[in-house]
């Protein structure tokens, strides 16, 4: 048994090292190589040329502003919403669940595009509307600015921050607050003197994770930043490899190293913080009911704010895309607009071989990729939780690494890797890249599922005469179903909307839907983009619903 476990551990370490370390190694080697996309001839000229270029520092400045303020925006919003949900008697609490889960099904690129359609300076729907109403000469808003990018990115990362802060807020030992009240502090004073300081690790963890996600973000900077020539590091790298006569991957890698180093350090800070936050936030075992703060007069306005948030996060992008997919060109919603609606964009998309190919590719990547990724996650989580050796610790650290991978940077590393294999420009290159980059999202729900399975449950099966495989099949697997389902859904939705890795790795024949949508966006084909986008969101929702149904079917009887 022990021998088999340690063999499994080493096998997984090798697989994981190949998946996560090889692109990093390639990236490092590549950034020190002389050729444009070949290895060899050590040189630091790429670094010199990148880091002596004043343009780079302008980009770096943009990046810091974009990343810092987006993360701050998401964290503050998340804190506000989590507090409303857990501590007040605001009505419609199910909406918080909706806000934290549903945005997963709307691809980031589409969310960004919908805001471009609303607020672009030349014919944004909302801009045109306001110009008509107030008889303005110029568009009042311009989304193609760094402020626009911050707002959209902040909204996109809100669910991540919320999912970290809300559980901490919910498991908070209420007696800490109660004693503050006993000693004479009011609601507000208690909030700032007790609640927020105790929750600080969770809040900082949420902020750091948002920073890492913003650093890796490509959809918003490319859709909203590039038209106004506002470049951040991710789009700067993209421009380096897609424009010019021959793509200089070495230079891109040299830029990418700064994102990668920053991301990896932040992720390990995050990991350290979430560890101590478990110690910090006291989860009380007695069945307490948190004291609810009576909102009184603020109840209705706050509820309306909540409604507006859900509308902006979920309904608005879908409505804008639906509308745009039916009208022949951008116009303010009006009787005339509704009269001129037709299906021409839909017909165009459905007759476009590349769009159809991208649909097929994305479906394949999402279903096969998420299934393989989940399978790998099961084994890795098993070793991390159940095999307590030094090797399994190495595996855990390794599995955490790709949390920090910015898709576009690691994509360049993978490109170097795949160029040396027959996998280059095949769908398998994308598949492997996806699994490597998003594996932590599969592993996390699986490890928490494994932790819940007490070792006695397996041992008693063995004592009852069941073989290793029977124990897995009849005891471990059924108890893991909820973890498997949530891991699969997380990976599948991420794979389906994946953009940043795909823009580097996809070649003619291996386009994915998100890449195709970006192409439509660059070409200004908003109608087709919207039609394809609606199809994409529809499939996303269908996937999540089906996976949930399948999961419920296999779910253990609990009552």
Residues that bind another protein (CB under 8 A): 1-2, 454, 456-457, 459-467, 470, 474-475, 478-479, 556-559
Shortest reach from residue 176's CB to another protein, in Å: 30
Q: Which is nearer to another protein, 133 or 463 (CB)?
A: 463
Q: Which is nearer to another protein, 335 or 463 (CB)?
A: 463
The gap between the terminal CA atoms of the chain, to the nearest Å, is 35
The gap from C-alpha 114 to its chain's centroid, in whole angstroms, comes to: 18
Q: Which is nearer to another protein, 135 or 390 (CB)?
A: 390
The gap from C-alpha 551 to its chain's centroid, in whole angstroms, comes to: 23
Shortest reach from residue 366's CB to another protein, in Å: 28
Q: Which is nearer to another protein, 133 or 557 (CB)?
A: 557
Tokens of 100: 């934290």
Q: Which is nearer to another protein, 184 or 465 (CB)?
A: 465
Tokens of 440: 């932590």
Tokens of 314: 């979920």
Q: Of 303, 306, 345, 290, which Cα lies nearest the Cα of 323?
A: 345
Please return the burial class of 375, using the count of CB atoms within 10 Å of its CB with bins 0-12, 13-18 and 19+: middle
Q: Which is nearer to another protein, 53 or 459 (CB)?
A: 459
Largest separation between any pair of C-alpha atoms in the chain: 82
Separation between Cα atoms, residue 151 and residue 147, nearest integer Å: 6
Q: Which is nearer to another protein, 137 or 559 (CB)?
A: 559
Separation between Cα atoms, residue 158 and residue 181, nearest integer Å: 31
Q: Which is nearer to another protein, 296 or 456 (CB)?
A: 456
Beta bridge partners of 33: 42
Contacts 24+ apart (CB under 8 A), 316-321: 316/114, 316/118, 317/106, 317/110, 317/111, 317/114, 317/115, 318/106, 318/534, 318/537, 320/114, 320/117, 320/118, 320/125, 320/530, 321/110, 321/113, 321/114, 321/117, 321/530, 321/533, 321/534, 321/537
Q: Which is nearer to another protein, 340 or 460 (CB)?
A: 460
Shortest reach from residue 286's CB to another protein, in Å: 17
Coil vs helix vs strand at 88: strand
Q: Is 509 left (phi over 0), alpha (psi -120 to 50) or beta?
A: left
Q: Which is nearer to another protein, 297 or 388 (CB)?
A: 388
Q: Which is nearer to another protein, 243 or 455 (CB)?
A: 455
Q: Which is nearer to another protein, 54 or 465 (CB)?
A: 465
Shortest reach from residue 548's CB to another protein, in Å: 18
Shortest reach from residue 456's CB to another protein, in Å: 4
Shortest reach from residue 461's CB to another protein, in Å: 7
Shortest reach from residue 512's CB to another protein, in Å: 37
Shortest reach from residue 544's CB to another protein, in Å: 23
User: What residues contact 456, with CB distance under 8 A and at least 6 apart?
Assistant: none
Separation between Cα atoms, residue 362 and residue 543, nearest integer Å: 12
Shortest reach from residue 2's CB to another protein, in Å: 7
Exposure b/e, 172-207, CB count within 10 A at least 16 = b? beeebbeebeeeebeeeebbeebbeebbebbbbbbb
Shortest reach from residue 478's CB to another protein, in Å: 5
Tokens of 361: 């590719």
Q: Which is nearer to another protein, 294 or 459 (CB)?
A: 459
Q: Are 220 and 153 in contact (CB under 8 A)?
A: yes
SS3 per-residue string spanning 436-447: HHHHHHHHHHHH
How many CB atoms are closer than 10 A to CB 92?
11
Separation between Cα atoms, residue 474 and residue 88, nearest integer Å: 43
Shortest reach from residue 386's CB to another protein, in Å: 13
Separation between Cα atoms, residue 449 and residue 476, nearest integer Å: 10
What's the DSSP call for residue 42? B
Separation between Cα atoms, residue 510 and residue 519, nearest integer Å: 14
Shortest reach from residue 46's CB to another protein, in Å: 47
Shortest reach from residue 554's CB to another protein, in Å: 9
């Amino acid at each position: 048994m022990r021998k088999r476990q340690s063999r499994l551990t080493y096998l997984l370490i090798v697989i994981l090292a190949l998946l996560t370390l090889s692109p990093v190694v390639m990236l490092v080697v590549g950034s020190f190589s002389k050729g444009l996309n070949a290895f060899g001839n050590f040189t630091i000229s790429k670094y010199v040329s990148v880091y002596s270029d004043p343009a780079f520092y302008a980009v770096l400045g943009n990046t810091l502003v974009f990343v810092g303020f987006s993360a701050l925006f998401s964290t503050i919003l998340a804190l506000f919403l989590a507090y409303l949900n857990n501590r007040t008697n605001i009505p419609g609490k199910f909406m918080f669940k909706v806000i934290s889960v549903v945005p997963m099904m709307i691809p980031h690129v589409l969310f960004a595009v919908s805001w471009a359609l609303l607020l672009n300076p030349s014919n944004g729907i909302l801009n045109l509307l306001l110009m008509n109403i107030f008889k303005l000469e110029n568009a009042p808003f311009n989304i193609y600015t760094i402020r626009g990018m911050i707002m959209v990115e902040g909204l996109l990362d809100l669910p991540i921050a919320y999912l970290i802060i809300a559980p901490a807020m919910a498991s908070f030992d209420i007696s800490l607050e109660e004693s503050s009240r006993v000693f004479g502090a009011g609601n507000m004073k208690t909030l700032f003197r007790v609640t927020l300081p105790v929750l600080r690790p969770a809040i900082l963890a949420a902020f750091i994770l948002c920073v890492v996600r913003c650093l890796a973000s490509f959809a918003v900077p490319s859709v909203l930043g590039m038209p106004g020539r506002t470049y951040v590091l991710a789009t700067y790298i993209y421009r380096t490899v897609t424009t010019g006569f021959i793509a200089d991957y070495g230079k891109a890698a040299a830029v990418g190293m700064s994102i990668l180093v920053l991301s990896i350090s932040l992720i390990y800070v995050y990991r350290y913080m979430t560890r101590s936050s478990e110690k910090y936030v006291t989860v009380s075992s007695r069945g307490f009911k948190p004291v609810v703060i009576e909102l009184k007069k603020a109840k209705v306005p706050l509820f309306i704010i909540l409604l507006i948030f859900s509308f902006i996060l979920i309904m608005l992008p879908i409505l804008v895309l639906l509308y745009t997919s039916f009208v022949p060109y951008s116009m303010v919603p009006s009787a005339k607009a509704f009269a001129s609606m037709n299906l021409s964009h839909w017909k165009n998309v459905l007759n476009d071989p590349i769009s159809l190919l991208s649909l097929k590719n994305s479906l394949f990547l999402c279903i096969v990729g998420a299934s393989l990724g989940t399978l790998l996650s099961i084994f890795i989580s098993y070793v991390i939780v159940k095999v307590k050796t030094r090797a399994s610790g190495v595996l855990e650290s390794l599995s955490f690494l790709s949390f920090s991978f910015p898709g576009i940077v690691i994509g360049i590393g993978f490109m170097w890797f795949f160029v040396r294999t027959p996998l280059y420009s095949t769908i398998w290159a994308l598949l492997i890249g996806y699994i490597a980059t998003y594996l932590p999202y599969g592993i996390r729900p699986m490890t928490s599922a494994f932790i819940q399975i007490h070792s006695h449950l397996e041992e008693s099966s063995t004592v009852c005469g069941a073989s290793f495989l029977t124990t897995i099949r009849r005891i471990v697997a059924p108890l893991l179903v909820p973890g498997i389902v949530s891991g699969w859904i997380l990976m599948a939705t991420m794979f389906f909307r994946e953009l940043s890795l795909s823009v580097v790795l996809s070649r003619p024949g291996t386009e994915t839907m998100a890449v195709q949508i970006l192409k439509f966006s660059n070409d200004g084909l908003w109608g087709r983009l919207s039609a394809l986008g609606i199809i994409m969101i529809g499939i996303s929702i269908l996937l999540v619903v089906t996976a949930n149904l399948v999961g419920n079917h296999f779910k253990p009887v609990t009552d």
